[in-house]
Structure 1
Amino acid sequence: MPDGSFPSTPAPAAPAAGGSFTLGDFCIDEYKPIKVIVVGAGYSGILAGIRFPQKVPNVEVTIYEKSAGVGGTWFNNNYPGMACDVAAHCYQFSFEEKKDWTSFYPSGPEIRQHAEEIVEKYKLMRYIELQHEVIAAEYNSAEGKWHVRVRRPNPETGVPEVIEDSGEVLLLAIGCLSRWKWPDIEGLSDFKGELHHTAGFATSPAKWEDYAKPWADKKVGVIGVGSSAIQTVAALQPRVKELKNYARGKMWLSVPFAGDKIAELIGRDLMRADNLSFTPEEIEKFKNDTEFFRTFRHTIEDDFNSAHAYTIRGTEMQMAYRDACKQFMEQKLASKPWIKDQIIPDFPVSCRRLTPGPGYLEALCSDNTELVSTPITRVTASGIELSNGQHQDLDVLICATGYDTSYQLPFAVKGRNGVDLNEKWKPHPVTYLSVVVDEFPNMFMSLGPNSVIASGTLLPLLEYQVGYAVQAAAKLQRERLKSIEVKAQALQDFDQYLEAYFPKTVFSDKCRSWYKVGKEDGRVVALWPGSTLHGITALAHPRWEDFNYERADPVDNCMYWLGDGQTYNEKTLTGDRAWYLRPPFLDIPPIPSE
């Protein structure tokens, strides 16, 4: 059906009851095949392609990616100055050791290249289907399977077509910052110059430095004061004739995390925006001195995971960090001190997403750049009209106005009895630990609602979110279950936890933030209620008692999965039959020294 709909789901068959019990004709570890469908080939999807085959035997994995390449947001964005605002050595999987990052805050293309290297290293293209856009997903209760409809170009003709697929497990790995939006400003479509959205530059295959060359003698405007706007302004300032940054809000820029410790390790002053690239000698030391590299990486990660208190209202760390950030910004703005009143906020540090923004404040202080805090009335054919009546001519207008963060998915996902996820998530999304939703059996999420981190680093939590889905899939297979579905009460309890947690944090203060769907007040829908370490500890060991289960076999005995009393290696006299004497199964306890 081209509209993405599915036939109605039949009612599940009742299991056989009563009668004598017959052993299964299978070994306890003779696992049935299980298929996992992953939506998205960003970092979460890449990780799923590594972990499911590693941890789940007899598994088939298919990863559908709508774009023409892997990397998620790092493939789909190509705006000027795009870079990571987290330390490079913290932006890699725990089991990876990339030692040749060129900068402390790596560029988007470099991160994308790293994602491609991981895909190649673990041979993941055998699982990934590029230019395959999932347009609908629906759970069939009778089968215990998810059915998906996928739009793709025909392999022979290139003509768009829709195919169907099904699997026992569905992992939504589409991310929370993937659906960009234009600002709601009168007259935007009337602009006759070049009009861009920062997320729209992905359509250009060129490097941003190349497509920005014609702007050298142009008047360029950038709307926004979030991370992408800050990076765009810093990158374009030395490359254009005039630059105006339209900012309706204010923004804290952070003092670099781990700055003092990094200075001790490699003598680097991270306060300077021109001092962030690693030297060839430093990169060689990372490559050749494994102990030093691991110490360096561990030091940064440890420091990132030591700042949770600054997210809590009124703490000593919050106050001290606010003072440090204010002093940092005032020093950077010393040549144009009046700008500090336009940009330094009254709300606490981290109420909005915090970013280091290297080079941004320096750009604002340059002669060809102006920070415009007067509200925009409308866009005209030739520029922008402000609320004070002033008109500013522009040749190029770039909207760095973010993404749809409402968590309304771009395709229909229907669970048990046809429940629509987008409808269920009105007026706001409710989940269990950000990874599962009741009425949606065997479905898991990475970077779903309330899963982003403001204290710590994101990738460790992402690893544990995917790991949660892997553990659940292994349980489904190991115990011969048809479905695993979180209890509604568990969602309600987690929701109560969220409502109790956030009022004590800075995120609930009055500031416009994508954490709150772009509103100044209201529910925090993006953030995990705690630190990275808190999140990974919560997800490490699933509370299976918070779930309901259906058995796959029509046998009224919960021990049917024990099989015929033997393991496969015993049955076939193959493989290791004393595996418990070898790592990682061998667990040697420490001997007390006294």
Structure 2
Amino acid sequence: MKDTGRDGSSVEEIDFIPIAIIGAGFSGIAAGCRIKEKLGFSQFKIFERMDGVGGVWRKQRYPGVACDIPAPLYSLSFAQSTGWSTLTPSGEEIQCYLDGVCKKYEMINNIQFNTEITDLNWEESSSRWKISGFRLQREKERELFSLYANVVIIAAGKFYSPNLANIPKLPGIDRFGGRIIHTLDWDDSLNLEGKDVIVVGSGCTAAQVVPSLLASPHNAGSVTQLMRSAPWVRPKFISERLMSMWEQYMPWLTRHIPFLAGITRMIIFVITESYYYLLFASSIGRTRFKRHVLRYIHREAPAEYHEILAPDCEVGCKRFVQDIAWYESLNDPRVHLTTANLKVFEENAVVLEDRHCGLEKRIPAQIVVLATGYDISTFYPSMSTTGRDGVELHRLWTERGGPQTYLGIAVDKFPNLFILGGPNSTNGHTSVLINIENGVGYLIQLLKPIIMGDISTCEVKTDACTRWTSKIQDASNGSVWKTGCSNWYISKTGWNGTAYP
């Protein structure tokens, strides 16, 4: 059977699989492991665009990349690691952890690497999803393919498109003789020795990058960090002395004392979960937190930066930055932090403009590092998803004012389609893996009757989907998202992704 791809090329109809999972990051791996373990079902395939598992943790290779959630909580509850070297493991260590999980659950044979899914189409006549995409071959050749599946699970995540922060539109960028690189596309061969580096951004990534550029093997000559607005920074988890003790003794203890890893995880879960009630839902808690952070700034950061490091937004309006070494690095004479705007590129320099008085300053630059995060204005922008009656997912979300799902995992008019890590399913106060595992738990309950043949399709009702979204918005009344973030417009049916200054 032959079909036609988007570009008119011939496509071979190759297969049928009961369950198709898109993405081999934490979400996809968690779903696959639990389907095997809880349902005893292994007839599924995970499609991954990269050449290995890990998702964003495989993609991210910038200097200093690490987890900013305590390691015991940033691991799957059913596959606890007893070997974390530190509370804030590196990206490489997290990648090794995921490789180990796949080995334990014998997942590799269920994963098809170097494969990108571009189209999902629900066929009413067969009650199946038609999945189309391409395999990446050598020399960047692409082999188009399609197959059918009863169930599709989107576990693609949302951190794969870099936010370029309007950099390509700046004057003079074409004549800049240095290198401009986003942290998402880091080049391991990049030589920073003695170079003048500009870092654009002040979020979690920038807080990891700046200290790392100063240390070996990078040894940058100077680092100028451009900060649009100061983030709320959480102090270090524990003191350096306690961290040293943790790293020295905890791996041995968790390997030799049964249940210690689980107990440790539960304690950290309770502590981090309390942040929601203390900060997001309580104005009193936010006031206390502000005082604590401001004292921390004055204790750790140079006096010249105290004023600009004090955030002008409410606590919780932006994701917290976990301080590992950022404030300490600001004491290094090679580092300069500024709120000036990047205005013009020159061949070996950039021109900064003070946003208050308009004064310009020219500084040398050979490398510009964009630590500007991700473009998450659209979920799964490279994949077209069409459900019942020709309804396209992105168009439906646009009509309703923004991305929304029922319980974070399902959308009406899209039967047998489930989402992990979708709209309104993540948080800013604890590990995202908690939400992922909650979604997988619901998913297992929904998949069981389909696998057993008791039902053929499962689809959420329209009114249930819209009522759930309204419930979320109503529940946020009185929280920081409604009372403190006045610079964000939140519609009754969902965030429309538009920021107003």
| TM-score after normalising by structure 1 | 0.75
Residue 352 (structure 2) pairs with residue 386 (structure 1): yes
Mapped partners of 1:59, 1:292: distance in 2: 31
Residue 90 of structure 1 aligns to a residue whose secondary structure is coil
Correspondence list, 1:152-551, <5 A: 152-153=135-136, 159-185=141-167, 186-187=170-171, 188-201=173-186, 204=187, 206=188, 211=189, 214-238=191-215, 239-256=219-236, 259=238, 269=241, 275=243, 278-312=246-280, 314-333=282-301, 336-387=302-353, 388-409=359-380, 410-426=382-398, 427-478=401-452, 480-508=454-482, 520-522=488-490, 525=495
Correspondence list, 1:81-92, <5 A: 81-92=64-75
Residue 360 of structure 2 aligns to a residue whose secondary structure is coil
TM-aligned CA deviation for residue 145 of structure 1: 0.7
Mapped partners of 2:304, 2:485: distance in 1: 22
- Closer, same or farther in 2 for the Cα pair 1:317/1:183, shift >3 Å? same
Mapped partners of 1:152, 1:337: distance in 2: 54
Residue 303 of structure 2 aligns to a residue whose secondary structure is coil
User: What value does the CA root-mean-square deviation take over the aligned residues?
Assistant: 2.6
Opposite residue 247 of structure 1, the aligned amino acid is M
Mapped partners of 2:223, 2:19: distance in 1: 48
Mapped partners of 2:317, 2:244: distance in 1: 26
CA contact (8 A) 1:450 1:526 kept: no
**Unpaired segments of 5 or more residues in structure 2?**
10-15, 354-358
Mapped partners of 2:438, 2:34: distance in 1: 11
Mapped partners of 2:440, 2:8: distance in 1: 28
Correspondence list, 1:44-83, <5 A: 44-56=27-39, 60-83=43-66
Higher CA-based Rg? 1
Would you say how many aligned residue pairs link Structure 1 and Structure 2? Answer: 473
- Closer, same or farther in 2 for the Cα pair 1:40/1:449, shift >3 Å? same
Structure 1, residues 182-221: CA drift from partner, whole Å, max 9, x if none? 12031344422011100001xx4x4xxxx45x31211001
TM-aligned CA deviation for residue 48 of structure 1: 1.5
Structure 1, residues 321-368: CA drift from partner, whole Å, max 9, x if none? 2221221122111xx212121122132222210121211011112111
CA contact (8 A) 1:451 1:526 kept: no
Mapped partners of 1:419, 1:65: distance in 2: 26
Mapped partners of 1:167, 1:398: distance in 2: 42
Structure 1, residues 147-196: CA drift from partner, whole Å, max 9, x if none? 111210359x9842111111110000011212223120313444220111
Opposite residue 166 of structure 2, the aligned amino acid is D
- Closer, same or farther in 2 for the Cα pair 1:76/1:444, shift >3 Å? same
The aligned counterpart of 1:18 is none
CA contact (8 A) 2:236 2:324 kept: no
Stretch deviating more after TM superposition (222-231 or 470-479): 470-479
Structure 2 residue corresponding to 1:96, chosen from 75, 79, 86: 79
- Closer, same or farther in 2 for the Cα pair 1:299/1:4, shift >3 Å? farther
Opposite residue 173 of structure 1, the aligned amino acid is A
Mapped partners of 1:355, 1:277: distance in 2: 24
Opposite residue 191 of structure 1, the aligned amino acid is F
Stretch deviating more after TM superposition (78-87 or 477-486): 477-486
Residue 228 of structure 1 aligns to a residue whose secondary structure is helix
- Closer, same or farther in 2 for the Cα pair 1:85/1:277, shift >3 Å? farther
Opposite residue 377 of structure 1, the aligned amino acid is K
CA contact (8 A) 1:305 1:457 kept: no
Structure 1, residues 450-509: CA drift from partner, whole Å, max 9, x if none? 111223322122112122222211122346322111111011111211221334222346
- Closer, same or farther in 2 for the Cα pair 1:276/1:196, shift >3 Å? farther
- Closer, same or farther in 2 for the Cα pair 1:372/1:154, shift >3 Å? closer
The aligned counterpart of 2:12 is none
CA contact (8 A) 2:23 2:46 kept: yes
CA contact (8 A) 2:178 2:367 kept: yes
- Closer, same or farther in 2 for the Cα pair 1:216/1:34, shift >3 Å? closer
The aligned counterpart of 1:549 is none
Structure 2 residue corresponding to 1:146, chosen from 103, 106, 129: 129
Residue 115 of structure 1 aligns to a residue whose secondary structure is helix
| TM-score after normalising by structure 2 | 0.88
CA contact (8 A) 2:48 2:116 kept: yes
Residue 142 of structure 1 aligns to a residue whose secondary structure is coil
Structure 1, residues 418-471: CA drift from partner, whole Å, max 9, x if none? 211111121411211111111111000011111112233221221121222222
Opposite residue 224 of structure 1, the aligned amino acid is G
- Closer, same or farther in 2 for the Cα pair 1:276/1:328, shift >3 Å? farther
**Percent of aligned pairs sharing the same letter:** 24
Residue 137 of structure 1 aligns to a residue whose secondary structure is strand
Mapped partners of 1:68, 1:322: distance in 2: 44
Opposite residue 289 of structure 2, the aligned amino acid is Y
Structure with the largest fraction of strand: 2
Opposite residue 218 of structure 1, the aligned amino acid is K
TM-aligned CA deviation for residue 511 of structure 1: 5.8
The aligned counterpart of 1:586 is none
Residue 368 of structure 2 aligns to a residue whose secondary structure is strand
TM-aligned CA deviation for residue 379 of structure 1: 3.0
TM-aligned CA deviation for residue 120 of structure 1: 1.1
- Closer, same or farther in 2 for the Cα pair 1:457/1:225, shift >3 Å? same
